[in-house]
Amino acid sequence: MATPIAQQRLPRGRGAPTIFETLRAEIIGLVLPPGTVLSRLELQERFGLSATPIRDALLRLQLEGLVDVFPQHATIVSPIDLERARAAQFLRRSLELELVRTLALEPARAPIAKLRSLIRQMGALADLQEYEAFNLADQLFHRTMYEAAGVVDLNDLVKQQGAHIDRLRRLHLPVAGKMDEILSEHAAIVDAIEAGDPDAAQKALRAHLSRSLQFVDTLKERFPQYFTR
């Protein structure tokens, strides 16, 4: 599946996304699906930069397993690696089970109003089928809980390790009913935290983070070219 690389140039100035962040977001969002060839010359033209920062960005993507670099030949967006996806899911679920328990034991620390506001925003985005914006709001929902517990650095770790499970979730997102399911699960997590019920919070979180891998076989049937053999 070919995807043009020559898009608008990276915004300049403070706060602008880096080349790595831009390409990473496009790979996870499937704007650049598995199998896409990344031409260094085209990337240089797109971002208006020399070969060195492009090479450095591609090397960082390679470290996360998002691209395969074939020296003197090509750089290709890698397929989804299910072993990496399972490991990342295990890590995230382990951390967030403790996270929601911590917040439920001290519900006064939890930003309930902000979390509910994000759920409402996600509902509006789901109605519009704005998948990328929905996905970003989903990530912010979880990051908000890490911030409230004072462990935001762990969210960065989850993000770094979670590229393959994140692509799997993004692939799953347009499936009928998936976004509504996420909204319902988010609401259940917040309800349990607000009620000060750590067991219910963990039960809701476990259900929320366990579904994408359950649909792997269906997704592989629909998109066999996106997965490692």
For 44-80, write each residue's pLDDT tens digit: 999 999 999 999 999 999 999 999 998 877 899 999 9
pLDDT of residue 212 exceeding 80, the answer is: no
Give percent above pLDDT 70 in the chain: 92
Average pLDDT over residues 10-15: 42
pLDDT of residue 161 exceeding 90, the answer is: yes
Tell me: the pLDDT tens digits for 91-134?
Answer: 999 999 999 999 999 999 999 999 999 999 999 999 999 999 99
- For residue 84, give both structure tokens: 């990496």
Collapse the DSSP code of 12 into the 3-class scheme (helix H, G, I; strand E, B; otherwise coil) and give the result: coil
What are the sequence ranges of the domains in the chain? 19-77, 82-226
- The confidence band for 215, taking pLDDT boundaries of 50, 70 and 90, is confident
Residue of 171, 141, 143 lying closest to 27 (CA atoms)? 171
Average pLDDT over residues 165-180: 93
Average pLDDT over residues 18-43: 94
- Residue 5: per-residue pLDDT: 38
pLDDT of residue 15 exceeding 50, the answer is: no
Please name the residue ranges forming H helices in the chain: 19-28, 40-47, 51-63, 82-105, 112-127, 131-148, 152-161, 163-172, 178-194, 198-208, 216-222
Contact (CB, 8 A) for 85 and 211 = no
Fold of 19-77: Arc Repressor Mutant, subunit A (1.10.10)
- The confidence band for 17, taking pLDDT boundaries of 50, 70 and 90, is low
- The confidence band for 211, taking pLDDT boundaries of 50, 70 and 90, is confident
Average pLDDT over residues 184-189: 98
The DSSP annotation for 127-177 comes to HTT-HHHHHHHHHHHHHHHHHHTT-HHHHHHHHHH-HHHHHHHHHHTTSTT
- Residue 229: per-residue pLDDT: 65
Average pLDDT over residues 199-213: 92
Average pLDDT over residues 150-167: 95
DSSP 34: T
- Residue 1: per-residue pLDDT: 38
Give percent above pLDDT 90 in the chain: 83
Q: Which CATH architecture has domain 82-226?
A: Up-down Bundle (1.20)
